[in-house]
Each structure stands twice: as C-alpha cells, then as structure tokens.
Structure 1
Amino acid sequence: MEVCVAILLVGALLALLWLLVDKKKSGGKGGGLPPGPFALPLVGNLLQLDKHVPYKTLLKLSERYGPVMMVHLGWQRAVVLVGYEAVKEALVDQADDFTGRMQLPFLVKATRGYGLGISNGDRWRQLRRFTLTTLRDFGMGRKGMEAWIQEESKHMRGHIETYKAAPFDPSFLLSCSVSNVICCLVFGQRFDYEDPDFLRLLAIIFKILQFVASPLGQMYNIFPWLIERLPGSQHKVFANMEVVRSFIDQKIQQHQDSLEPGPPRDFIDCFLNRIQQEKHNKTTEFFYENLQATVMNLFMAGTETTSSTIRYALSIFIKHPEVQEKMQKEIDAVIGRERCVNMEDRKSMPFTDAVIHEVQRFLDIAPFSLPHYTLHDVSFRGYTIPKDTIVVPLLHSVLKDETQWADPLTFDPQHFLDHNGNFKKNPSFMPFSSGKRACVGESLARMELFIFLVSLLQHFSFSCPGGPDSVDLTPEYSTFTNMPRRHQLVAMPR
C-alpha cells in the first residue's frame, strides 16, 4: 500500500513539473511554441491518436491548429509539419536548423547508439560523407550498379519461372533480389535464393520491421523503459537483432582476415582501410562500432523498403490491369522482350516512369519520415521550437497534399504526365524525404525500382487467383511505415 501511494505521489509530482515546464516554455504568439491540442500529463496526446493510422489524426488536428503544430507523444514534445510548403521550408530552406535526428529508442538499442542512421553532429557529417562517396565509387546510380541489378533481375526471373504459372507469395523472392544488390555493395557477394541462412536472415528482418511498424513498436519508442519491463513480442525482436548483428560481425571478421593492399572490394573494405588510416586521430568516427552499425543501417534499410515497394507495385498492376497492359506496350515498343532494360531507356518510357513514381507516392511507405530533432533553439514561421524537440515532417501530408496533386487519394499515373504524355516532375514527390537528411540510398532505390519492375513486366503478366477485386491496396500496418499486404500472385510468361 505504501509503495502504491509513493508511486502515485511521484507520478503527480512529475505531472505537475511537466505542466509547469511546458507552460513556462510556451509563451503564446510572437516567438512561443506552435499551437496544439491540450495534452494530458505523461501520456500527452496519445489517447487522441488512432493507433492504426495515427497520421490521419494529425492531419485532422492540423485543420484546427495549422501546418505547424505542437503535440505531445507521451512526455515528449513534438512539432508536426503538415503539407508541402511547411515541410519544404523546414527541410530545404532551413536545412541547417533541421538536420538533427531523433534518437529513436528502438534504433538506439538496435545499433547501440552508433552508425549513420541516428547520428548527429560531427559523427553524422563524417559518416554520411564517407558513405555517399563510397557507394558512388562502387557504382550507386551509375553503370556499374546497373549491371549488378540487371544480373540480379535475371536470377529473379529464373526463380519465378520455376513456379510454372502457379500462385506464389513473392515477398521473400523480392527481398532476396533487392537484398543481394545491397549485399554486393556492402559485403562484396550475393547469396543464392535457396540459401537457408540467408532466407532466415531475411525472415528475421521482415519480422523486425513488422514490429517497428506495429502499435507496440511505436509504444516502445515512446515508453521504452516501460515496454522493456512488460512481457511481449518485443523481447523476441531484440533477440533477432542480435542474430543480425552476429551475421554482420561474421562478415566484418571475414573481411579483416582477408584484407590485402590494393583496390577495396566493397564498403566494408573501404571502412576498414579508413579505420587503419585514422587510428591515431582522436576525433575520428571511423572505428568498429560505427562500421558495424552503419552496415546494419544499409543492410536492413536497403532490403525491405524497396522490396515492399516492388511488391506493392505488382499488387497495383493486378488491381489495375489496364495500367499493366499499357506499360507492357511501352516496354515492347522501346526495349522489346530480348534486350536487358537499362536506365537510359527511362527517357523514352514516360508512362512507365510515371507509374513507378505514382506507386511510390500512393504507397507512401514512410508517412512520418524518420523524426528530426532540434539541436538548438530554432525560429520557424514566427514560432520558437526549443532545443531537444522532436520534429515530424509528415511526408504523408506532402504525398497526399490536395494543393499539389489533382486527385491525391486516387492511384493515377497522370499525376506525373503532362497533357502531351511527357513525364513531368513534381517538387512535392518526397518518398525519400528531402534536404540534408534525405535517404542516402535514393539513387540506388530508383534504379532498382525501374530495372526490376520493367524486367518483370517484360517477361511476365501478373494476375491473382481471386481476380483484381480481391487485391486490397490498404496497408497491413500504417504507423511508422506503411507495410503493404501480402498477396498470392500468378506470373504468366509472355
């Protein structure tokens, strides 16, 4: 009984302190905090959010409080940016003020606080510059990488042919293909689609990302100290993270044992060489823990987001067979069915290019982006956003902005075509976010999406046992990420 009373008293004191600090910092108009809904102590505005589609609640709240508003995620204060203009002004026009990255508890635990993904300051600058330069040196966005993806597309097609037009779930096959591309960059090798260890690893990554996208995963990022102490699937997820870490450690050790003078074989070789070069530099960020965590960032992020987008595209082709047919006509006219597709073909294939862009816009795979974080007090649109505030650029509100898209809630390739049928860009196309913290693998993902999807439609027509009406395009999870549903499909050779 005494313990319960003590807990209640401590909770009440914390709540009172929270309210006093919040009130002291708000200050109203003219340099105060942005407006927002009343927040309860400790839980903030969580009870107001739809746990299945929280971004829809935020959109609704923005109708009352405007495109720059304050909400509380538990005890943490967060500024939510809604719509293209507000997001672009923050991430592009005031890029230096919004380069901070929130230390998401799940990612901190997964990476032990190291690596590129959640780093800030000098660590982020050193690792991002190195990663971008190294990936480009190994062909990211260039001809060298194009050849790797073309080769992997042949392996993918060969595996699909083994199903002989019988229904199958393409999830792990697509994960294998996309993951093999990043494996070539990072590990210098690809894996066979029947490799049991590789398949187990991909299954683990899928389960980890499922957890991150689930309501429980979101609760972990808000109340890690509580979820850590409760029974549940989170403990299995953290055990799985150690399996991924062990795999990466093994690959790094293999590289260390076989490292020789001469041209580096892959990303790990480059990082190991840099560690050796800077071993006497006390301010260097090139050490083992950053290598391990950055490889984990690249391996996991470079696998599931792109493969999920391809899987969603196939579902759309089945749901909209007229789109699939029109793409195939364009592919036949420009490439034919024998030659390998290359990135130069994209210039002559505006409809195909438009469809792939529209798939990304419509899926909206990262509706919240990765949250940013203010590293100092920031003045924005007449408000003061204090240091250590979470900043959420609501990418969903950009990709579905009614002022930027003719019919944002409908899948329509015309969003990326002018009246003459030519491809047209739209500045509010931000599936990779924007500014200085935009996805480092953007050019690689764009290349993979184009080559893999065109190669698939070049050789197969896709349908499903239940017909187009059986395909549900609403995501299975719609929290941190939009995870598309899994469908059985049929690949009929053309």
Structure 2
Amino acid sequence: MEIFSTTTLLIIVCLIFLILSITRARKHQNKDRLPPGPTPLPFIGNILQLNGKEVFKSLNKVSRGVVASNGERWKQLRRFSLMTLRNFGMGKKSIEERIQEEAHFLTEEFRKTNSQPVDPTFYFSKAVSNVICSVVFGNRFEYEDKCFLQLLAFFNEIFRGFSSVWGQMYNVFPKVVGKIPGPHQKMFKAIDGILAFIAERVKIHRETLDPSSPRDFIDCFLLKMEQEKDVPHTEFHKEGILNTTFDLFGAGTETVSTTLRYGLLILLKHADVEECIHKEIDNVIGRNRAPCIEDRSRMPYLEAVIHEIQRFIDLIPMGIPHKVTRDVHFRGFIIPKDTTVYTMLSSVLRDPKQFKYPNEFNPGHFLDENGKFRRNEGYMPFSSGKRICLGEGLAKMELFLFFSTILQNFTLRSPVDPKDLDLTPLMSGFGNIPRPYELCFIPR
C-alpha cells in the first residue's frame, strides 16, 4: 500500500509539473510573440514529433529549431580559410588543372572495370577527396592507399551516422546518447580516427615547415598559430587546426562525391537526358581533348542538368544553422537575439512558385524557351547569406568537370531495369543519401 501511494504521488507530481510547464511555455510564447509551434514536453522537448527517417520533413511542420551557436570563432576561421583556399587556387586555373588530372585518373579506373557493374561510391570519394587533399595536405593519394581508403570509410560512416535516427537523437541529447552503446558509437570512432590522421599530418608538417614557402593549408595555419601564439583567446591553436582541417576535408569530400553518385543514378533513370548531354559534349568538346571550365558557358544543357540534380536531391535539406544576431521581427512574431535557426532549404528547392514540377527531375527548370541556361532564385543548395558554403566555387567546378569528363568517355548502363531504380533517399537526416546501386561504364 505504501509503494502504491508513493507511485501515485510521483505520477501526480509529474502531471502537475507537465501542466505547469505547458502553461508556462504558452505564457512565455504569448509574451515574447515567438513564432507558432507545438508545445515542447519537459526534458524531451519536441523529439517525439520528429520522424527519424525524414527529420527535415518533420521540422518543416514544427517550425525552427534551437541547436547550436556561432560567433567570433566562426568569423575568424572562415575568413582565414577562404583566403587560404583562394591563395592555393580555389576558383583559379591551378585548381582546374588539379580537377582535370583527377578526372583523368577516375576515368582510367572506370576503364579497368571492363564494363562490369560496380558501386561508384568509393570511386567518387577517392577522386573528389584527392582534390581537397592536394590543397589541405599538399598531395594526392593513390587510390589503393590503405590509409586513404580507411579515411574515406570514416567519412562515409560519419555522413551516414549524422543522417540516422541515432545521429539525430545525439543532436538532441548529446550528453546522454554519447555515453550509451549503439550504432552511433561507430560515428564517434570514425571522428577520432580522422582527427588522429590529421594530427599526424600536422606533426609531419610542423617538422618540415619552411616559413618562407608554405605548401598547403596546414602550413598556413601553423604559420598563423606562430603569429598569434601570444594573443589571448586566439582561435588559431591546436584544436583549431584539427577541427578546421577536419571540416574542410570532410565537406570537400562527401558533399560533392554524394552529388556525383546521386547524379549518375538519376541519369540511369533518365536515359533521354544522358543522350542529350552526350550530343552537347560531342558538339562543343568532342572526343580528343579534356573538358575545361571555359566549356561551361557553351553547354547550357549540362549546366541545367547539374543545377537540377542539386535541386532535386536536396543534399543538405536542413541547411547549416544560422544565428540571429539581433531581435528579428518576422511575420508579426519575434525571433529573439542569439536564437539558432535552421533555414529549411527544402522549402525553397521544392517551392512550386519557383519550379513548375517541384517533385520531379526536370532540367527544363533551368532552361528558357530557346534552350539557353536561365538562373532561378529558388536555386540555393549551398545555402545563402554570410554562411553560404565557402567551397561553392570549387564544388561547381568539380561537378562540371567530373560530369563532363565521365560522360565524354562513357555511356551509363544499369544492370537492372531502370524502372526499378528508386530515386528516393535511403536516409533523410542531416543529408539525403542515395540508395545503393550499381552501374556499368561502357566506353564510347
């Protein structure tokens, strides 16, 4: 009887606490005129209202989220990273030549498959990663390098992990979920593995550094660390170089390689689109020279296809978190200063006001009535504003040169009926991940 009374008392207390929390939340919402949204439950917030497989669709329904923050650290490291990447060729002829070289290595790897079905995942990861490796680490890796392959496997695990239900739970309850067993622990081990690799590269760079001739991003960061070693609260320290290099290496690998992988899957499904690209390549570039970035302005159809691939796959549907730097008046509501919000890129990329067939793949979204390329305000896969992806220029160059080089040399064939190919994502969390598939690269 005593146990029953204690249990009953606890239930009553919890119910009272729940009612008070809901009442307080509603009063607070009315007082501050926050944007409307579902009332959060104590401790767990709105986690029960999120669909684990398609979290971005759930967030579209429950309005904005409050997750992370930014500030002076982000400003300093972004400014330095952008300047350094530009110094090492981003957006210039030198980086174009690196991409062309890597595209050549990639096509040679595809030729070795002898037109047999292959999973393109790691082929693209190797090629794309080597482009950013040459900037960050000062060299590319051989495709069969075991250390390199392990590194790419780590990044693949992290990208999938953050898009899984466990990854989403970790974002909500990091202190709790981080300590319990589960599939997400593989993601943490992968992060540790990459950081250990970067730390080793930093050590080697420090031992061989020539201040008068920096070789790559790591060298430049080390020189900046030396310049600011006596500056209080500097952002250029050991942790800073590890994390910034991690971000550049990761972002420069998974996003572009996943877009290429998803793009070829779409072309397998739409053979008519691939045929039109082949005709444009033959007319503009031919078969006897490598594609160059100058060709892009003369190839409106391929440019439209690449833009439509990025729009359709909606790679990072929740975008990157933004921080409100002052109280913002929005549609009669107030978003308080320092609130972190997610701008749902999906709502723009699939906006029926901007795109006639928002849920279908249609290159016509970026072509005018004369077949010329046309821009669309709804195209923003790299986000927008001050936190727009700093590697946008590099990514666009890579996508054009890789797609054009592959399709100049090969015809794509699916070992299964194209009607059976599923273009819906395997996972839709932090990123939209395509379903596994195989294809044959038939030499043209």
TM-score interval, normalised by the smaller of the two chains: over 0.9
Question: What is the alpha-carbon distance in structure 2 between the residues aligned to residue 140 and residue 12 of structure 1?
Answer: 58
| Paired residues of 1:416 and 1:426 also in contact (CA < 8 A) | yes
Question: What is the alpha-carbon distance in structure 2 between the residues aligned to residue 422 and residue 320 of structure 1?
Answer: 20
Aligned to 1:457: 407
| Paired residues of 2:282 and 2:408 also in contact (CA < 8 A) | yes
Q: Secondary structure at the match of 2:316?
A: coil
1:27-42 alignment runs, 5 A limit: 27=30, 32-42=33-43
CA deviation after TM superposition for structure 1 residue 330, in Å: 0.3
Question: What is the alpha-carbon distance in structure 2 between the residues aligned to residue 70 and residue 22 of structure 1?
Answer: 16
Question: What is the alpha-carbon distance in structure 2 between the residues aligned to residue 224 and residue 446 of structure 1?
Answer: 34
1:114-129 alignment runs, 5 A limit: 120-129=70-79
Aligned to 2:421: 471
TM-score of the superposed pair, with normalisation by structure 1: 0.84
Match of 1:402 among 352, 367, 387: 352
CA deviation after TM superposition for structure 1 residue 223, in Å: 1.6
CA deviation after TM superposition for structure 1 residue 18, in Å: 4.3
Question: What is the alpha-carbon distance in structure 1 between the residues aligned to residue 42 and residue 140 of structure 2?
Answer: 51
State the one-letter code of the partner of 1:25: H
1:131-146 alignment runs, 5 A limit: 131-146=81-96
Question: What is the alpha-carbon distance in structure 1 between the residues aligned to residue 9 and residue 87 of structure 2?
Answer: 60
CA deviation after TM superposition for structure 1 residue 17, in Å: 6.4
Question: Against the structure 1 CA distance between its residues 128 and 357, is the aligned structure 2 distance closer, same or farther, given a 3 Å change threshold?
Answer: same
Question: What is the alpha-carbon distance in structure 2 between the residues aligned to residue 133 and residue 153 of structure 1?
Answer: 26
State the one-letter code of the partner of 2:294: E
Question: Against the structure 1 CA distance between its residues 8 and 412, is the aligned structure 2 distance closer, same or farther, given a 3 Å change threshold?
Answer: same
| Paired residues of 1:15 and 1:42 also in contact (CA < 8 A) | no
Question: Against the structure 1 CA distance between its residues 70 and 407, is the aligned structure 2 distance closer, same or farther, given a 3 Å change threshold?
Answer: closer
Aligned to 1:180: 130
State the one-letter code of the partner of 2:146: P
Match of 1:389 among 314, 326, 339: 339
| Paired residues of 1:33 and 1:70 also in contact (CA < 8 A) | no
Q: Secondary structure at the match of 1:394?
A: coil
State the one-letter code of the partner of 1:427: E
CA deviation after TM superposition for structure 1 residue 201, in Å: 1.2
Q: Secondary structure at the match of 1:393?
A: coil
Q: Secondary structure at the match of 1:263?
A: coil
| Paired residues of 2:411 and 2:443 also in contact (CA < 8 A) | yes
State the one-letter code of the partner of 2:217: F
Mean CA deviation greater in 376-385 or 215-224: 376-385
* Structure 2 segments unaligned to the other structure (5+ residues): none
Deviations 1:225-263, CA, capped at 9 Å, x for gaps: 331243211222212211111000001111100001323
Q: Secondary structure at the match of 2:343?
A: strand
Aligned to 2:51: 50
Query: What percentage of aligned pairs have identical amino acids?
Result: 47
Question: Does 2:413 correspond to 1:412?
Answer: no
Question: What is the alpha-carbon distance in structure 1 between the residues aligned to residue 360 and residue 63 of structure 2?
Answer: 30
| Paired residues of 2:268 and 2:418 also in contact (CA < 8 A) | yes
Question: What is the alpha-carbon distance in structure 2 between the residues aligned to residue 296 and residue 224 of structure 1?
Answer: 20
Match of 2:310 among 325, 346, 360: 360
1:141-160 alignment runs, 5 A limit: 141-160=91-110
Q: Secondary structure at the match of 1:492?
A: strand
Question: Against the structure 1 CA distance between its residues 245 and 415, is the aligned structure 2 distance closer, same or farther, given a 3 Å change threshold?
Answer: same
Aligned to 1:166: 116
Mean CA deviation greater in 347-356 or 284-293: 284-293
Q: How many pairs are equivalent?
A: 441
| Paired residues of 2:170 and 2:177 also in contact (CA < 8 A) | yes
Q: Secondary structure at the match of 1:462?
A: strand
Aligned to 1:221: 171
TM-score of the superposed pair, with normalisation by structure 2: 0.94
Question: Does 2:291 correspond to 1:341?
Answer: yes
Aligned to 1:115: none
Q: Secondary structure at the match of 2:198?
A: helix
Question: What is the alpha-carbon distance in structure 2 between the residues aligned to residue 397 and residue 485 of structure 1?
Answer: 23
Q: Secondary structure at the match of 2:408?
A: helix
Q: Secondary structure at the match of 1:370?
A: coil
Aligned to 1:329: 279
Question: What is the alpha-carbon distance in structure 1 between the residues aligned to residue 397 and residue 151 of structure 2?
Answer: 24
Aligned to 2:223: 273
Deviations 1:166-198, CA, capped at 9 Å, x for gaps: 111110010000000010110001001111111
Question: What is the alpha-carbon distance in structure 2 between the residues aligned to residue 45 and residue 465 of structure 1?
Answer: 43
Aligned to 1:258: 208
| Paired residues of 2:348 and 2:379 also in contact (CA < 8 A) | yes
Question: What is the alpha-carbon distance in structure 1 between the residues aligned to residue 333 and residue 391 of structure 2?
Answer: 33
Question: Against the structure 1 CA distance between its residues 8 and 203, is the aligned structure 2 distance closer, same or farther, given a 3 Å change threshold?
Answer: farther
Q: Secondary structure at the match of 1:168?
A: coil
Question: What is the alpha-carbon distance in structure 1 between the residues aligned to residue 119 and residue 172 of structure 2?
Answer: 34
